[in-house]
């Protein structure tokens, strides 16, 4: 339709692909710009765009049913916990199944995205060209700009971030070495578990400031995320209280494995999923320590006063949320804080949306798909958000619900409980937004006479 907006999409990873699919279903003209030569984003191992964080042994820590798109489930032949090669294959198949490549410009990086004084976007590309669009979808991901901790002193040996880790010999030769891994997220425990095999490193130490509850991948013979799920119809605070006993049942006391006592209750920080780490710690192949207090040349002093020599340090300390194509004075996320309506829309900007900019538990895949479908309805005129003042109020309510119980750390600024988020969108926010659009809402397009969405982009029941 002639009155539909033209849309620019930045990135062709999980979020960019679902955005292309949803906009295509609604007939919205769009162009997706991808810096790499292929789709897949973070799941493209050794991606030539230089920002993939996948390591050679990486398996996703959420099971196949949870990460499948509603419109394109993973094949039955895939294992419960797919390897990165499976996910990359599946994303390429997704792009091919829905002819998404026709709208993607590969090997084209967006250097600047500038909003006009009256709206609309000018994208400056790294090939010297530029493109103009009515609206913009930002799908550049948030696991590519490494964040490093700051410690007193200095370390003489090599130091890398987990973002750059490929395997025990790349980019550092860690065979036979004493290695310190800082962090206790999923990447940290994967790397510790891999290096701690006696055929690899000498000894691996894991340093954590806050501690964590380590949950195995399987419970009662089934993937853990298929056994333990939250119910959006029950009070979240009650479910969290009832869940506090689960780690003791599944894994025992973290202190029995040398880990610090977690400084939070279970589910008040992102859980760590691993079926290997506790075994490595129990076997003495890995050693748990508290926070790093000081770097001492070829040694490290920890908060308990102990000092250990190391050959190398790997920092698995998370990522900064950043948008290199925006002027920081226009839009940025200091300390990873960027309040958004439904983790999508910034009040006062009616022609840009962010897709996949959240840390949903258990996973980002269906989250990005649902956001993309909502963005398509918004751009098509079939849904409208509330006025900016109401958006601000709802942002505060959502953040209190989704992040209010989490530790105040950059890692947790975008947390959300997926099942509650999905339920609220489908039963409340989307129907209300559709009613606003039909009434010619203040931030929606006139949707009179618009055709219904194609079946493939229907929202889940």
Q: Residue 19: which of 75, 89, 71, 80 has the closest Cα?
A: 71
- Strand-pairing partners, residue 359, are 415
Q: In degrees, to the nearest 5, what angle opens at C-alpha 20 toward C-alphas 19 and 23?
A: 80
Question: Counting beta carbons within 10 angstroms of the beta carbon of residue 272, is it exposed (0 to 12), middle (13 to 18) or buried (19 or more)?
Answer: buried
Using one digit for the tens of pLDDT, what is the confidence trace for 138-193?
Answer: 999 998 999 999 999 999 999 999 999 999 999 999 999 999 999 999 999 999 99
User: In this structure, what token pair is assigned to residue 23?
Assistant: 């906009």
Is residue 268 predicted with pLDDT exceeding 80? no
**0.85 cut: is pTM over it?**
yes
Positive or negative torsion for Cα 61, 66, 71, 76: positive
**Range 34-61 average pLDDT:** 96
The domain 153-315 having CATH identifier 3.30.300.30: the answer here is no
Q: What is residue 405's predicted lDDT score, i.e. its pLDDT?
A: 61
Q: How far is the C-alpha of 383 from the C-alpha of 35, rounded, in Å?
A: 31
Average pLDDT of the chain? 91
Q: What is the pLDDT of residues 379-412, one digit of tens each?
A: 999 999 999 999 999 999 998 878 766 666 666 6
pLDDT of residue 240: 76
Which pLDDT score is estimated for 458?
Answer: 56
CA 200 to CA 168: how far, in whole Å? 7
Which of 1-15, 220-234, 308-322 has the highest average model confidence (pLDDT)?
308-322
Point out the least confidently predicted range of 55-64, 240-249, 273-282, 337-346: 240-249
pLDDT in tens, 82-130: 999 999 999 999 999 999 999 999 999 999 999 999 999 999 999 999 9
Cβ 76 vs Cβ 82: under 8 Å = no
Residues belonging to the chain: 461
CA distances 348 to 283, 339, 385, Å, are: 55, 12, 11
- Interval 282-316: pLDDT, tens: 999 999 999 999 999 999 999 999 999 999 999 99
For the purposes of burial, counting CB atoms within 10 Å of the CB of 7, is it exposed (0-12), middle (13-18) or buried (19 or more)?
buried
3-state class (DSSP) for residue 416 = strand
Dihedral over Cα of 250, 255, 260, 266: its sign: positive
Q: What is the mean pLDDT of residues 131-139?
A: 98
pLDDT band at 460 (very low <50, low <70, confident <90, very high): low
Give the architecture (CATH level 2) of 7-145+320-457.
Answer: 3-Layer(bba) Sandwich (3.50)
pLDDT at 453 over 50: no
* Cβ-Cβ contacts under 8 Å for 92 (sequence gap 6 or more): 38, 39, 40
Q: pLDDT higher for 393 or 363?
A: 393
Q: Which of 326, 363, 357, 327 is nearest to 341 (CA)?
A: 357
Tokens 């997926």 sit on residue: 418
CATH 3.50.50.60 domain range(s) in the chain: 7-145+320-457, 153-315
What is the average pLDDT across 68-80?
97
> What pLDDT is attached to residue 451?
35
Radius of gyration of the chain (CA): 23
Q: Which strand (E) or helix (H) includes residue 222?
A: strand 222-223
Q: How many whole angstroms separate alpha carbon 116 and alpha carbon 9?
A: 17
Strands 299-302 and 307-309: antiparallel
Instruction: Report yes or no: 429 and 397 within 8 Å, Cβ to Cβ.
Output: no
The HSE-up count of residue 46 (CA atoms within 13 Å, CB side) is 6
pLDDT at 456 over 60: no
For 324-368, list the strands marked E by DSSP: 352-354, 359-361
Mean pLDDT computed over 334-350? 94
Cite the beta strand spans of 237-335 per DSSP E.
272-273, 286-289, 292-297, 299-302, 307-309, 312-315
Of the pLDDT bands very low, low, confident and very high (cuts 50, 70, 90), residue 442 is: low
So what's the pLDDT on residue 459?
60
Closest CA to 340 of 357, 326, 359, 323: 357
Question: pLDDT tens, 4-20?
Answer: 999 999 999 999 999 99
The rounded distance, in Å, linking the Cα atoms of 259 and 386 is 46
Burial class of 67 by CB neighbour count within 10 A (0 to 12, 13 to 18, 19+): buried
Q: How far is CA 1 from each of CA 29, 136, 381, 450, rounded to the nearest angstrom?
A: 9, 18, 12, 9
More confident residue, 367 or 440: 367
Is pLDDT above 50 for 452?
Answer: no
């Amino acid at each position: 339709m002639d009155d539909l907006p033209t849309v620019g999409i930045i990135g062709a990873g999980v979020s960019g692909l679902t955005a292309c699919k949803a906009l295509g279903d609604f007939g919205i003209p769009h162009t997706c710009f991808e810096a790499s030569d292929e789709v897949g984003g973070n799941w493209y191992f050794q991606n030539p765009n230089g920002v993939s964080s996948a390591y050679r042994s990486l398996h996703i820590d959420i099971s196949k049913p949870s990460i499948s798109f509603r419109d394109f489930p993973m094949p039955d032949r895939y294992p419960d916990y797919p390897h990165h090669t499976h996910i990359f294959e599946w994303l390429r198949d997704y792009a091919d199944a829905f002819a998404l490549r026709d709208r993607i410009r590969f090997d084209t990086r967006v250097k600047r995205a500038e909003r006009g004084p009256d709206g609309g976007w000018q994208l400056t590309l790294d090939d010297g060209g530029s493109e103009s669009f009515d609206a913009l979808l930002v799908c550049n991901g948030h696991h590519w700009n490494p964040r490093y901790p700051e410690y007193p002193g200095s370390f003489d040996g090599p130091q890398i971030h987990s973002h750059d880790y490929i395997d025990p010999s790349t980019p550092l030769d860690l065979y036979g070495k004493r290695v310190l891994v800082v962090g206790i997220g999923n990447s940290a425990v994967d790397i510790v578990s891999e290096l701690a095999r006696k055929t690899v490193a000498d000894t691996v130490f894991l340093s954590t400031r806050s501690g964590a509850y380590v949950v195995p991948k399987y419970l009662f013979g089934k993937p853990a995320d298929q056994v333990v799920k939250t119910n959006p119809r029950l009070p979240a605070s009650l479910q969290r209280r009832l869940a506090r006993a689960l780690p003791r049942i599944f894994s025992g006391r973290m202190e029995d494995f040398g880990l610090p006592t977690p400084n939070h209750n279970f589910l008040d920080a992102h859980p760590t999923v691993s079926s290997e780490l506790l075994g490595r710690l129990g076997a003495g192949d890995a050693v748990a320590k508290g926070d790093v207090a000081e770097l001492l040349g070829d040694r490290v002093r920890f908060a308990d006063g102990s000092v250990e020599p190391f050959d190398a340090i790997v920092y698995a300390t998370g990522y900064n949320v950043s948008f290199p194509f925006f002027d920081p004075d226009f839009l940025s996320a200091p300390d990873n804080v960027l309040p958004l309506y439904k983790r999508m829309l910034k009040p006062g900007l009616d022609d840009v949306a962010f897709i996949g900019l959240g840390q949903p538990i258990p996973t980002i895949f269906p989250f990005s798909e649902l956001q993309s479908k909502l963005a398509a309805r918004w751009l098509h005129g079939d849904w409208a958000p509330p006025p900016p003042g109401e958006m601000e109020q709802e942002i505060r309510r959502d953040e209190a619900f989704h992040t209010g119980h989490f530790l105040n750390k950059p890692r947790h600024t975008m947390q959300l409980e997926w099942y509650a988020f999905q339920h609220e969108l489908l039963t409340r926010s989307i129907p209300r937004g559709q009613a606003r659009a039909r009434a010619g809402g203040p931030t929606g397009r006139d949707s009179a006479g618009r055709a219904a969405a194609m079946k493939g982009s229907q929202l889940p029941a």
